[in-house]
Amino acid sequence: MNQKYAKIFKIVLWVLMILSVGVLVWGSLTGFEANDGAATNVLLGWAYIVLGIALASVICVGLYVTATTNPKGLIKIGIALVAAAVLFGICYLLASGAPAVGYSGAKLPSASELKMTDTILNLAYLVGGAAILSIIFGEVWMTIRNKK
């Protein structure tokens, strides 16, 4: 059965790679700046599609493997998802959505775009700070445990 899945994955990967090269060659031949950047838009759209396929594949395969090998692991995954949603909600509530200072672009971002940008920045600051603190705490904890 694993041979069958491996063959299917190999075929799908080859098809995606051939399509990606085709989109890239088409964009190169037509020119990425010609036609108001239509080739660039198609290339970016294809990149988003492939990224979505990759994320969906990783999530689905991960859930399938977890469900078949360790069904109790699904509870931990659910708890992690709820914690991530709560963290995102807190960052959204803390986001100001204030207009960008000194922005001179042609199109001003909307209030919802500004709010989402501030949310992602708050989330990045929080996760980055937590990573730094966990590294420091881990080193201190290892030092204390090794001295005894």
**Span 9-63, pLDDT tens digits:** 788 889 888 988 888 888 778 776 767 777 778 888 888 888 888 888 888 888 8
pTM for the full predicted model: 0.59
3-state secondary structure 95-120: CCCCCCCCCCCCCCCCHHHHHHHHHH
CA 30/CA 124 separation, integer angstroms:
38
